[in-house]
Structure 1
Amino acid sequence: MRARRPQMGVVLTAQHRAGRLAFAREHQDWQIRHWRLVLFTDESRFTLSTCDRRDRVWRRRGERSAACNILQHDRFGSGSVMVWGGISLEGRTALHVLARGSLTAIRYRDEILRPLVRPYAGAVGPGFLLMQDNARPHVAGVCQQFLQDEGIEAMDWPVRSPDLNPIEHIWDIMSRSIHQRHVAPQTVQELADALVQVWEEIRHLIRSMPRRCREVIQARGGHTQY
């Protein structure tokens, strides 16, 4: 045995596990043609300070505090960018950069559902399914009413299931890509521009959905490697 960093996971109650297990069992027999109709969406926040504790330095004993071995990290002073995106087997939406302020239900409807999701749903056609998590703006009455009026069906997504959403891996890939650049973004605008560029280069991971469901079943609704 060797000492390893523990895998991070959300807190799962018995109710959460039951919901996750029920969802996985319901969709375990879905084939790729079924998942083809689903648009997986999510928001994520990226910061200018990219310290994620993955970095390593080679150093001699006693050189821990040498300037070349210190990764400077401003915990509170760095700017950040929140983005929203959607992916499917057929393609992806544009990456939407959210301006300052929090994401409210009204903003979600007016900046995302109306200009981005509705046209995408129309392009996919009958059977389109919107995957969104249970964040408050997503499940607010005004947004639910908008989806109903537009005839857009949203999946009944289990609470606390980021491992079932393949877009979560894309956020991680994007973060690593930005972090590994020779010249890191210095301003919020540079960060936003870099995120949009990386977004267009990412391949989709939706073909992993059958495997994700199987792993949730094997874990009896618990945490998975995703």
Structure 2
Amino acid sequence: MVWGGISLEGRTNLHVLVNGTLTAIRYRDEILRPIVRPYAGAVGPGFLLVQDHPRPHVARVCRQFLDDEGIDAIDWPSRYPDLNPIEHAWDVMYWCIRRRQVAPQTVQELTDALIQVWEEIPQDTIHRLIRSMPRHCRECIQARGGHTHY
């Protein structure tokens, strides 16, 4: 499992979660505190955390941490299409890994490949993904939550 953050100005480092599943405590201690908090500070006023609805993201301990740090997060409905542009970045990474001449053979090789691909995604690509979201939202509304071409 990996975690990364994107914005119009840049991206966080890719965080690879090893040894077990993501819990709320791990999310707070491995992602929110060391990655999101400094990134939010670097972006400055107006930073808005967009995350979907898995339990660790919405757990009380994580919501409290974000409140204590003054980090605003979108309240994402639990039964709503995922309109987060990071999902499209994951698709870009998936296809970059799939197109490699030699597929990663070990967890370490996959980790190294993911980090390399993440760092090589042009910022222009991330910018386009984020800027496409109003159009994506309009299509989703027109489809009444049904299938879109995205």
TM over 0.5: yes
The alignment-based identity, stated in percent, is 78
Partners of 2:81 and 2:145 within 8 A in 1: no
Q: Distance in 1 between matches of 2:15 and 2:148?
A: 29
Aligned to 1:110: 29
Higher-Rg structure is: 1
Aligned to 2:67: 148
RMSD: 1.1
CA displacement, residues 88-117 of structure 1 (integer Å, 9 cap, x when unaligned): 101101000001100000000000000000
Question: Is 1:210–2:130 an aligned residue pair?
Answer: no
CA displacement, residues 20-78 of structure 1 (integer Å, 9 cap, x when unaligned): xxxxxxxxxxxxxxxxxxxxxxxxxxxxxxxxxxxxxxxxxxxxxxxxxxxxxxxxxxx
Aligned to 2:53: 134
**TM superposition shift of 1:222:** 2.4
TM-score w.r.t. structure 2 length?
Answer: 0.91
Gaps of 5+ in 1: 1-81
Aligned to 2:7: 88
Q: Distance in 1 between matches of 2:145 and 2:56?
A: 26
Aligned to 1:191: 110
Report the count of equivalent residues: 144
Larger strand fraction of residues: 1
Q: Distance in 1 between matches of 2:108 and 2:81?
A: 31
Q: Distance in 2 between matches of 1:148 and 1:223?
A: 35
TM-score w.r.t. structure 1 length?
Answer: 0.62
Structure 1 runs of 4+ off > 4 angstroms?
Answer: none
Partners of 2:24 and 2:59 within 8 A in 1: yes
Larger helix fraction of residues: 2
Partners of 2:22 and 2:56 within 8 A in 1: yes
Q: Distance in 1 between matches of 2:33 and 2:43?
A: 15
Q: Which has the higher contact order (CA 8 A, sep 6+)?
A: 1
Counterpart amino acid of residue 90 in structure 1: E
Q: Distance in 2 between matches of 1:91 and 1:161?
A: 25
